Structure 1
Amino acid sequence: MYNAETEAAALGNSEAELLDAYSTTVINAIERAGPAVVQVAVSKNGRPSGIGSGLILASDGIVMTNSHVVHGAGEITLTTADGQKGTARILGDDPHTDIAVLRTDSVLTAPSLDFFDSRKLKRGQIAVALGNPLGFEQTVTSGIVSALGRSMRSGTGRLIDDVVQTDAALNPGNSGGPLVDAAGRVIGINTAIIPGAQGICFSVAANTALDVLTQILRYGKVRRASLGIEGASTEIPRHVARFAGVQQAAGVRVMNVIKDGPAAGADIRPGDLVIALDGQPVEGVDDLLRLLNHQRTRMEVKVSLLRRGERRERWVMTDERR
C-alpha cells in the first residue's frame, strides 16, 4: 500500500546520502591538494603590494602561480597551510597565458599533485578551487565545470585559449591557486573573474599550464614563432572570396613586412591577405598568433594568402618571436 510519509522519508534519506557523498568527495580533494597550496605575498620597494596563491609542483622548490600576481615583484614570500615560509624568485614569466613559475631555495614539504589531461574534462564535473581570496588563507570553494574551450584576453591583449569556466567562487587572492577535480588532480590554474558577474570564473587549463612550465624549465621562457609581419584582422569582400574559392569571411592583412625577416625572404608583401597557415584557417590576428606556437618555431610553414584576389602559397622558415 502506498505510503506518502514512507516515500518522503526514503527520498530524504537518499538526498542526505548524496549530500554526504558530495561532502566526502570535496573533503578528500581538499585533503589531497590543500597541503600543496601556498600564499604568495608580493612586495615592491619594501612595501606589500598584493597577495595571491600558488601551487608547489616539486620538492626541489618549483612553484606555479599567475603572472599578474608576481609580475614586477621585488620580493616574494611563500607560506604553506601548516606555516612553512620561504622566499622565492621568478624563474620564468609568461604574461600571454598569465602563468609564472617560481623557484624557492627554502625546503617546503608538500605532496606532489597530478595534472589531469584537460582535454578529457566534462561539463558538470566537480571543481574545487583553493587559495587565499581577499587574504583569507586556505579558503576552499566548490562547484562544477561550467564550460570548456573558452578564450579570454590576457593582460597583454593576447587570447588565452582553452580556458576552463567554473562556478566555484573566486575572488582577488585566489589568482594562481589550483582548480582541482574530485580526485585532487589539477585541472586548471585560477586566473580571473568577470567584474559584476555572478559566479563566472576562469582557470587556465592544466595542459596549457604544463606547456608553459615545460618551456620555462627548458628555455627559461615561452618560445613562439614569428613570420616577420605586422598584420590586422580584415574582412574578405564577398566577390573576392567567390573568385578565389574561399569560404571564410576574414583573414589577416599584411600591413608591414620586417626587413630581412622570414616573410620578406618568402615574397610576402604588404597588402597580401593571409588566410591559412599549414592548411588551418586564419580568420584574424588571434588565429595567426595561436597557430604560431613554439612547435612552429624555426621550421618551415605553408602560408596561404590572397594577392589581388588570387590564391597563392608561400613556404616560410619562421623565426622566434622577440
Structure 2
Amino acid sequence: MKKCVLIIAFIHLGLGVSLAPAGFLQTREVDRRELLEAFQRQLQNVVKTAGPGVVAIVVSRSEFYPPRPPDAPAGQLGAFDPREFIKGDASPSRIRLAKHLDLSDPQAIAEHGCAGGVVLDTSGLILTLYHVIEGARKIYVHTAQGGSYADIHAADARSDLAVLKLIRPPDGLVPIRFADVLLYDLPQRKATVAPGRLVVLLAYSGRGELRLEKPSAAFGSLTNVRHRLSLLRGDGDVPLDKQSSYYKSGVLLEHDVRPFSDISGAALVNLDGELLGLVTAGAVVYDRSIGPGYALPADENFRRILEVLRRGEEVEYGFLGVTLAESRGRREQGVEIGAVNPGGPADQAGLRPGDLIIRINGYPIESYDDLLIHIGAALAGSKVELTVLPRLGPPRTVTATLAKFNNPQPFIASVRPSPVFGLRVDYSSILTLRLRTQPLALASPILPGVCIREIIPGSPMERKLKTLGESTDRWLITHVNHKPVASPAAFYSACKDQKTLTLTLIDITETPPRPRELIVP
C-alpha cells in the first residue's frame, strides 16, 4: 500500500519517473525521502530564481492626500512625505492620519491591503493588473531590494494590465523571466501549457503584522485552460463593453494553488521559475473562498501589449472591419463573414461575405472571441496573415493592415506624440466608427487619412480649424504638404521639422467629400 501511494506521489510531483516502464516501478523500491528532497530542492530553486522578481503593491484611494497639481499627468501620483504632511499641524489626529497615509510602512498593509506584481527591468518598471491600481491616489511597491512610491507609467483596462514606474528604484532589482506560453497547438508547435502541468505561485502574504522579507510560495498544478462564455455575434447587438474586456473573450489559466489565489498580480511560474501568468481576482464576479484560481496567461498577445505599456504608450487595438454571419450555415471551422466595412482592412485585403476566416497568423479561429482577441492584440497598423476559405475554391492566405478599434475602456499613457502646432491625430477608422449609425454593410467607408484627436486650446491649429466651423469631429486630414498620410505615424513623420504645413482635409459626412486646404501656422 505504501509503495502504491509513493508511486502516485512520484507521478504527481512530475519529476519524470512517471514515464518509466511499469516493470521498473514495480522492481525498484523508490526512496521516499530522496524523492521528496529532490522536489524540495526544485521548489527552493524556483523561489531563489523567481522570488527576487516578485513585489508587493500597496494602493491607497484615500481623499486625504494633498491635492495634485491640476496640470499633472493622469498617472503622476508622486510620493508622500508624512513629515511634510504634519507641518503646521502636529496634532495627534493629524499624526495618526499621516501614519495611515504613509504606505511605506509595512504595517499599512493591514489597513490598505496588498496586491502583487513583478519586476520588468532594473530601471524600476513593475508589471501588475489594471484593476489593482484603478482609482489609486498613491502606490507603494515593496521589492526584495527595498521599497519606493510609484507612478503609473502606462495602464490599459481592456487587457487589465498596468506598468508602474518606481520613483526611487532601489539598486539590484532582479527582473522576472518570462516562460514560452503557447495556449494552442499550432502546425509546427505544440501548446506549452495544459492541465496537469506543475506550477508555483509566489506572492507576499499581505499580513501587516509580518515582515516583508521574501514572497511566500505554494505549488500545485494547472487544472484547465479556460475560455469564458462566447459572445454570440460580432455586431452592434453585442454591447460594446462586452466586446472590449479580456475577461469577456480571453483565455485564462485555471489552477488549484492555495493559498494566495485571491491576490491579484501574484506570479504564477513554472518549475524553471519563469512567469506563466499573473493571478487575477477579476476573472470572477463574486467572492468565493473555494474553487479554482485563475491567471492571465503571459502568451504572445499578452507580451505584445506589455511591450507597448513598457514604452509608456496607449495600446491601440487592431480593427479588421467585419461582422459575422447570423447562423453557422456551412461553417464547420472558422468564423463566417456576414458583412465587410467598405474601405476597411478586410475589404482592402479582398475578403467578402461568406468567406470563412480559419486562421490568423497561424492561430486557429473557432469563434468570434478568437477573432476579437487575435485581431485586437495584433495592434493597429500591423499586418496580419488571414487564412480564408471562400465559398468556392481552396483556402487562400491574404494580408491585411489593421486599422484601430474604437476602445471605450480607460487607459493611461505617460508617453504621447508631441502635438503638431497644437494638434494630435488618430486613425481614420476611429472617426468612421464614432459616426456609424447604420449596419456595417451600409456604413460610411473608412477613408485613408487621419482624424483630429486633440486640439490644444489657444494653439495655431485651433485658430486655423475654426475657419472650417465650430465642429471638428467630422474632418479627415488626407494629405500633408500634398503627400498622402494614411496613419498617425505617417502624419507625424510628414510634419517633422516642418515650419509650415499645408493640410488637405475632407468632411466625411459630405457626399462626395470636397477637399479643403489649410496653411498652418
Q: Is the 8 A contact 2:203 2:260 kept in 1?
A: no
Distance change in 2, residues 1:53/1:12 (3 Å)? farther
Deviations 1:136-188 (A, max 9, x none): 653322112333x4334895654223x33321125465211211222322222
Deviations 1:111-149 (A, max 9, x none): 2332121233465443111113554653322112333x4
Distance in 2, Cα, partners of 1:302 & 1:233: 18
Q: Does 1:210 align with 2:303?
A: yes
Q: Does 1:321 align with 2:397?
A: no
Distance change in 2, residues 1:146/1:250 (3 Å)? same
Which of 55, 61, 78 lines up with 1:38 in the alignment? 55
Task: Give the corresponding residue for 1:103.
Answer: 165
Deviations 1:288-308 (A, max 9, x none): 2123145463347669699xx
Task: Give the corresponding residue for 1:8.
Answer: none
Task: Give the corresponding residue for 1:177.
Answer: 266
Task: Give the corresponding residue for 2:31.
Answer: 14
Name whichever of 53-62 and 169-178 sits farther off.
Answer: 169-178
Q: Does 1:78 align with 2:78?
A: no
Distance in 1, Cα, partners of 2:181 & 2:351: 37
Q: Does 1:227 align with 2:312?
A: no
What is the aligned length? 296
Q: Is the 8 A contact 1:131 1:173 kept in 2?
A: no
Distance in 2, Cα, partners of 1:124 & 1:317: 39
Task: Give the corresponding residue for 2:250.
Answer: 160
Q: What is the CA distance between 1:104 and its match in structure 2? A: 1.0
Distance in 2, Cα, partners of 1:23 & 1:188: 23
Distance change in 2, residues 1:180/1:58 (3 Å)? same
SS of the residue 1:117 aligns to: coil
**Which sections of structure 2, spanning at least 5 residues, go unmatched?**
4-27, 65-110, 183-191, 230-243, 407-521
Distance in 1, Cα, partners of 2:344 & 2:307: 28
Q: What is the CA distance between 1:52 and its match in structure 2? A: 0.8
SS of the residue 1:31 aligns to: helix
Q: Is the 8 A contact 2:141 2:147 kept in 1?
A: yes
Q: Does 1:150 align with 2:243?
A: no
- Matched-pair identity in %: 23
Name whichever of 170-179 and 67-76 sits farther off.
Answer: 170-179
Q: For residue 292 of structure 2, what is the amino acid of its counterpart?
A: I
Distance change in 2, residues 1:110/1:217 (3 Å)? closer
Asked which structure has the greater CA Rg, the reply is 2
Distance change in 2, residues 1:315/1:63 (3 Å)? closer
SS of the residue 2:200 aligns to: strand
Q: What is the CA distance between 1:248 and its match in structure 2? A: 4.0
Q: What is the CA distance between 1:63 and its match in structure 2? A: 0.6
CA-based RMSD of the aligned residues comes to 4.0
SS of the residue 1:73 aligns to: coil
Distance change in 2, residues 1:176/1:13 (3 Å)? same
Q: For residue 217 of structure 1, what is the amino acid of its counterpart?
A: R
Task: Give the corresponding residue for 1:292.
Answer: 375
Q: What is the CA distance between 1:226 and its match in structure 2? A: 0.7
Distance in 2, Cα, partners of 1:44 & 1:318: 38
Q: What is the CA distance between 1:218 and its match in structure 2? A: 4.1
Q: What is the CA distance between 1:60 and its match in structure 2? A: 0.2
Name whichever of 276-285 and 26-35 sits farther off.
Answer: 276-285
Select the structure that is richer in strand.
Answer: 1
Distance change in 2, residues 1:65/1:235 (3 Å)? same
Q: Is the 8 A contact 2:50 2:177 kept in 1?
A: no
Distance in 2, Cα, partners of 1:236 & 1:199: 34
Q: Is the 8 A contact 1:274 1:282 kept in 2?
A: no
SS of the residue 1:235 aligns to: coil
Q: Is the 8 A contact 1:233 1:284 kept in 2?
A: no
